[in-house]
Structure 1
């Protein structure tokens, strides 16, 4: 059906009746009137241009985020007390976005880890004892690691946080993996410090998955991150809570002694965030982590924090530590080239991401931004930067520890050689310890997920379903919250349409045009527009926006020569007389997940862009003289169904919505470890939306579409979700529409088929509510 069309004077042909007047919207050169001709090269380059433009936009936004963050800060430097009060709201927000939201259990004592074959005292010297301990953190969540208790007067109490791939024993020299000069935990013990060294969840993939279904190559940190992110928690938050629970115990032991945290690599991240969140911490040492953070999207996904860079870089987090002591050590950082290689039958589904030693220039540049706050508070000495080996030396250098001790006001006598350490524990199963810590978080998230429905009920308690009018009015704040806090709101499109079209398809009933529109500077929208040939002068037809799924393109939706799950249903709709528009959305383009990684730290998402593209497209379509601007339907399959659940709640111009092959109990779909198609076990790592589970599910999304007609299309053999999940969630939609007195405006059609367009009941639904005559 590809066309090479040449036309002569269209007005002449119309005047003689050779071409019906209803076709006068088409130009003689094979494009729509009021648009420019789109070249073949433009059609072919539309998809890469779209992805490149969006990525470039967010790249620019990441660069300018440093300056833009200041709008979120209102610092008062009059006094330290005034300053701490002025940044209280920022401290609250960093707790929220890192998932430090659960109430900690009181930590009055440490639990000695011992058994019939293992003693809690695992090592000793003439200066201190080393114990294996655990401590209560949250309900059924513990911290575990080492407690080091000096024999003499305690100088300070310090939580020493290792990198994720280091064990507490390694930092104490009980295992040979760490060079002796990097054993800064042991050096702190030699100085007379009481220490707790917690175990962090590591980067191995040993337990990531369900052995009864499938195992994956996700690092343990990513596996926890995925589930936690969906319900407003984070692996960062869990480990900060473990550090703060240790601080609780320190304060119960000796309230007057200085308390500090010191961390390396991933432990440096946890130390930095812990001190920013808890003002009881007097001093902080961050080694091998602190740097400019605008490239965070290249780091492992378990460092992805929703909206982080909108308000916080490392310097801003450091400013929450001021006026307390902060020592930043530029040193060698952990080297992580990517997730574990998928071995055996493990699914290769982990998100890409790498870590490398922060460049000295980056450390110093970010430190200079942080120093300004300490200077303005009149305490420049409280912010110290130490360079170990030109930024590539070992962590915990002598200079860094001296700065920490000096800043805490602790006497720092030169220590003799290490006291000889005697190991008392052998044959310890460190893998079992890691598994137990990992499974504690899995089980805690089980409970959080199970309670998420109660959290949603609380959140929605002000939505009034006693009438359509009340529902529309009382759900306005929810719609706004969903857009701004869950999806991420971008400004409305700023560019003029600058429409370009090209006639590319033709049948006896309709013509198909590729369309290209400008949205924001450098960002375009595009798709295929089908225009029936029998539109009469002055007639206006309804439009169906027919949306493709993951990795999809508009062509299979309208071209009968392409076999697909869409069955070219767009062409069927056009044959029925509908104007059809099939957008090219970014998730149909290679490397689109990069967009999500770049956007999330800016409090934006893939759908932030898609909503703007649809907004601009609808505006353009509505001004076409043959379009009925009051009647737009949205019909999406699969990932297009996700779009059907996320775009119409925000854009009011869609008057009928059909979700096909996607509607289900979304929280179970994203967090289950018992369902083979769960997003916990597949490669769509971009799918997770922060705190979605506590705020909204698909029934509530349908509630934001109400009172407009809403339909679900569901194949019994569709592996996206079980029928029972779909029916369970849809029952709540049906109940809402019934309460509103509009139960005729919603329906679900089950059909005996797979993940595909059925197009029977849905066509009837469109005919009923789009008023096609």
Structure 2
């Protein structure tokens, strides 16, 4: 029905004409775009890429200061935290297996402990091991040494010539040993699906580590540091002459290791050094939280200065970053980085090895003419052992996070004032976790268009400006029986992933959507509420992860953007004479339940929050290797991961920050989104309920459990909303 009723114009909009009633008050007419989903996604992608460019332009502020050593020291601390390089290493006590002897060299396989399997209890007494190929000249030493790091598509055995995977010209470790060095080539997890079938091995471990403030790249940097310690203890090695050299992914590791470890005299980076403003297009396991705020490759080089840095090969932006790095080297009083070649070779070039020799002064070269091969079975054993060890450690850290959170979350409950003061500090930490966006200020530029004209309410598409070229969108239902001067509560009804506002509202019956959402927006409008159904900014997990990949590089998250969008819609609704700005609520299902939960601590104007079909034990949901609904098993769900989240927040802690406002969990006994068995989630829900009880606010918390699957139920939630939104404001 498209006819605009005179009753709507006169009763609701205070005498405005029927023509004006085709838009909402204080808004301009909106010509709805043909593809709102693509428009919203493109807006956010452009926003994050613009913020990345701004971050790069502003990066110099973190590298200013007259005391260069102090500047580097501070930035190294940030770099360590970003990489999760925070755990003390074990003493490297290697076990050696000789693989080959030639007249000139001995080739061995090393295995040594690096870190304990866990940090608490019995696991702290176990250890995970590093593996490496060691090639040592038989000539009189001590020799300079190079830690040769392969690309993630290769293994240490490949570059040492212990397999037939690479031609001799690309066997970098063997070539360096022929150039007069003792060479240690560490085994790292390769970028492939090998040890488990669901995602690439590196992505699997990266995500496990990300949740507990560790990083796969950081684990490799730690193994390099352990290898440096090991080499320095060997009588055959000159401990003052140790270098790192890598190609592609190995070059990244070499750069980062040299930036943090001043015992490393020189670094060679082949086919990697360049601008990182498009790091979101690189493999997921390279994603670093807040990476581009302080660091590009030039800044990493600045932490290596004044030690030798050899740049080999070319990638996009190599020349730009070298010029920037030269400025840091000048401040450090060192010789500028050496450019070996400008091509993109398959491995480290002969020119780069020659440049390294001028720094490291190896003895006369002797061809490494050994013959040996590591059989595929042994290589598979090494790969599986390494993967299982790191998986066990990172999973143990996730389990230990329960105790870390328990110790940190002891809120005072003797008075509401004491609790609020305590919670405010936790809320600041939470805002750091979801990202601190610039305030959304300026004109609202609201636009609207009539969509529904039903007997009991009218419905409008609504767009509100958040930032320049970023807009919030949703559909607002306005009851027609609002009396002049009356203000009604507003309930946001949030759909799930791959849904749309129309699904959450259910104004026009749709059997598929209604079987999940139960027309809950329509039902709330019929109960007399203003109802706003926002659209989640993107509709697919892949697009959502693409935004997360961009936003995390600058310390932001898509969740934080949703909060900003909701805030601007609240700003607009607060200008409407018939909306009660003291009575806003949020009710979402599935991804909408996720959005409701994560919005709650950050937007205090929502007085009641209902998270339906989402509330979980987030440790299990994001780090369990046996729970089938764990997001580890879903390659396209990177946006479910937040750096170092589990040491500070699971869902119970996020919900606690809603207090003293009202909070409800709606959960079906057959909801497959909730981890099984449900008793884990019940424990987390009861923790929240216990806090509300101790604060004397038991009537503001609800567990709306029902018999049914993943869907809106409403039978307990609707009365909960009625009681809290129609009484005295919270």
TM-score class normalised by the smaller sequence? over 0.9
Note if contact 2:134-2:184 (Cα within 8 Å) is conserved in structure 1. Answer: yes
- The counterpart of 2:318, out of the listed 363, 381, 384, is 363
The corresponding residue for 2:401 is: 452
- The counterpart of 1:766, out of the listed 717, 721, 730, is 721
The corresponding residue for 2:155 is: 167
- The counterpart of 2:664, out of the listed 698, 711, 735, is 711
* 1:118-140 residue CA offsets vs partner (Å, 9 max, x unmatched): xx111222222010111111012
How much does 1:670 deviate?
0.8
Matched, 1:38 2:26: no
* Pair 1:297–1:425, CA change in 2 (3 A): closer
Note if contact 1:23-1:533 (Cα within 8 Å) is conserved in structure 2. Answer: no
CA distance in 2, matches of 1:493, 1:142: 49
- The counterpart of 2:415, out of the listed 432, 443, 467, is 467
How much does 1:546 deviate?
0.9
* Pair 1:534–1:426, CA change in 2 (3 A): closer
* Pair 1:25–1:553, CA change in 2 (3 A): farther
The corresponding residue for 1:336 is: none
How much does 1:285 deviate?
0.8
The corresponding residue for 2:500 is: 553
- The counterpart of 2:532, out of the listed 581, 598, 605, is 581
The corresponding residue for 1:595 is: 547
How much does 1:428 deviate?
4.8
The corresponding residue for 1:346 is: none
Matched, 1:196 2:174: no
* Pair 1:560–1:155, CA change in 2 (3 A): same
CA distance in 2, matches of 1:493, 1:440: 46
CA distance in 2, matches of 1:189, 1:653: 66
* Pair 1:21–1:638, CA change in 2 (3 A): closer
- The counterpart of 1:328, out of the listed 311, 320, 332, is 311
The corresponding residue for 1:135 is: 112
Note if contact 1:31-1:502 (Cα within 8 Å) is conserved in structure 2. Answer: yes
User: Helix, strand or coil for the counterpart of 1:156?
Assistant: strand
How much does 1:145 deviate?
1.7
User: Helix, strand or coil for the counterpart of 2:684?
Assistant: helix
Q: TM-score, normalization: structure 2?
A: 0.93
Matched, 1:225 2:206: yes
Matched, 1:511 2:458: yes
Matched, 1:727 2:678: no
Note if contact 2:210-2:642 (Cα within 8 Å) is conserved in structure 1. Answer: yes
Specify every segment of 5 or more residues in structure 2 that has no aligned partner in the other structure, as ranges: 117-126
CA distance in 2, matches of 1:641, 1:6: 34
CA distance in 1, matches of 2:136, 2:18: 85
How much does 1:506 deviate?
2.2
- The counterpart of 2:477, out of the listed 506, 530, 543, is 530
* 1:77-112 residue CA offsets vs partner (Å, 9 max, x unmatched): xxxxx42332212111111111212221112x3112
* Pair 1:738–1:26, CA change in 2 (3 A): farther
The corresponding residue for 2:486 is: 539
How much does 1:433 deviate?
1.3
How much does 1:26 deviate?
7.2
How much does 1:613 deviate?
0.5
Specify every segment of 5 or more residues in structure 1 that has no aligned partner in the other structure, as ranges: 77-81, 113-119, 209-214, 332-357
Q: TM-score, normalization: structure 1?
A: 0.88
Note if contact 1:552-1:587 (Cα within 8 Å) is conserved in structure 2. Answer: no
CA distance in 1, matches of 2:17, 2:378: 75
* 1:562-587 residue CA offsets vs partner (Å, 9 max, x unmatched): 23211111110010001111101213
CA distance in 1, matches of 2:239, 2:130: 24
Note if contact 2:12-2:481 (Cα within 8 Å) is conserved in structure 1. Answer: no
The corresponding residue for 1:88 is: 73
How much does 1:713 deviate?
0.4
* Pair 1:21–1:716, CA change in 2 (3 A): closer
User: Helix, strand or coil for the counterpart of 2:289?
Assistant: coil
* 1:356-411 residue CA offsets vs partner (Å, 9 max, x unmatched): xx24xx21111111111112333224x21211xx4122422222112222123x15
Matched, 1:694 2:641: no
Coordinate RMSD, CA, aligned: 2.0
The corresponding residue for 1:343 is: none
The corresponding residue for 2:102 is: 125
